[in-house]
Amino acid sequence: MRLLVTGANGFVGTGVCAAAEAAGWEVVRAVRSVAGIVEPAVAVGNITAGTDWSRALTGVHCVIHLAARAHVLHETAVDPLATFREVNVAGTVALARQAMRAGVTRLVYVSSIKVNGEETRPGAPYREPDRPAPQDAYARSKLEAEQSLAEAAAGSALTVVVVRPPLVIGPGVGGNLERLMRVIRRGVPLPLGALDNRRSLITRGNLAALLIAAAREPLAGGELFLAADSLSLSTPALIRLLARGLGRPARLVAVPPGFLSAAGRVLGKRPVIARLTGSLEVDAEKSRRTLGWVPVESLEDGVMQAARWYAAQGGGW
C-alpha cells in the first residue's frame, strides 16, 4: 500500500514516515522543498488552493495530511484568519479533490484539540461528541477544514478520518516546549510550583501509531478521533520530568495561581499564563476502542527523550 505523508519533514511527519515504513507502507514524502533533504521526497511548494499534488498522489492509496500553517505565538499577519484559511482550509480541500481524482480512498486529516477549546474543568475531559469551541484563528481554520473536507468527500469513494491531538512531545520538539526547556536549562526559577492542573499530551511515536491505525482501520472512515496518552501531567510534574532529562534541578517556586492569573492580565500575557496554569484533558478511549490503537511508549519516556535530545544539542546555550 502506498501512503502519502504531507509535511513529511516536520517534527511529527518524520516520526509518521518512519513508523509507516516500519509497518510495511511504501511512503511518499511531500515537502515544500527538497533542498537539504536526504530521503526521496516530492516538492509541492507552498500549500494553497492552487497547489499541484498530481506527482505526489501517483499510485497513492491513502494520505496522512499533516502540513498546515501552525499556531504562532507572535502573529504578524494583518488578517490571521484569512491567512490560516488559505493554507488550512483551501489548501486542504484542494488536496482532497485531487486525491479523489487520483483514486485515493482514505484521507487522515490531522486537526487540533484546540478545535474543542482551550481549557477543561476537573473531571470533564474533551470527548468526540463535545461541541467545538475554537478560540483563535488557527483553531477556527482547523474546524472549517474538517467541515469542508466532509462536504468535499460526500458521495465519493474517499473516506475522511479526522484526528485531533493535543501538544505532541518527543525528540526534536519545538515551540512552547522548546522554550520551556531552554528556561529550565538556564536555571531560571519558575513560579509554578503551587499548580495542580492537568494537561494531556501525546508522544510523537504514539501519535504516529494512531495515525497509521486510522489509515488502515475500515471502521474509521468518516469518524472523528481525539488523541492523547492516558496519563495527564500537571505543569510542575512536566517541568520536573524535563529537568531530570536535562540534568538540571527543577527550580519551582510556589506562587498562588490567582496571583499568576492576575499578573498575566496586567502584563498582557493572559493566554500564555492560561496554558501554563489551566487544565486541558482529553479522553482518547474511542481511539483505543475503534482503532485498536496501543501506545508504543509511555508519556514519561517521551518527555525524557525530548529533554535528553535537547540537552545533547546543547540547547539553551
DSSP letters for 241-297: HHHHHHT----B----HHHHHHHHHHHT-HHHHHHHHS-B-B--HHHHHHH----SS
State the Cα–Cα distance between residues 80 and 141, nearest whole angstrom.
10
Q: In what order do the strands lie in the sheet with 159-164?
A: 42-43, 26-31, 2-6, 62-65, 106-110, 159-164, 224-226
- For residue 96, CA distances in Å to 81, 151, 285 come to 21, 11, 28
State the Cα–Cα distance between residues 317 and 314, nearest whole angstrom.
6
Instruction: Compute φ and ψ for 190, nearest 5 degrees.
Output: -115, 125
- For residue 218, CA distances in Å to 11, 46, 284, 291 come to 27, 32, 19, 9
Q: Could you say which of 109, 126, 138, 310 is catalytic?
A: 138
State the Cα–Cα distance between residues 117 and 136, nearest whole angstrom.
9
CB-CB neighbours of 137 under 10 Å: 21
Q: Is residue 263 within 8 Å of 277, Cβ to Cβ?
A: no
Residue 310 annotated as catalytic: no
CB-CB neighbours of 157 under 10 Å: 10
- Give the side-chain half-sphere CA count within 13 A for 152: 22
Instruction: Compute φ and ψ for 200, nearest 5 degrees.
Output: -85, 140
Task: Check residue 130 and report its DSSP letter.
Answer: S
Q: What residues are annotated to the active site?
A: 138
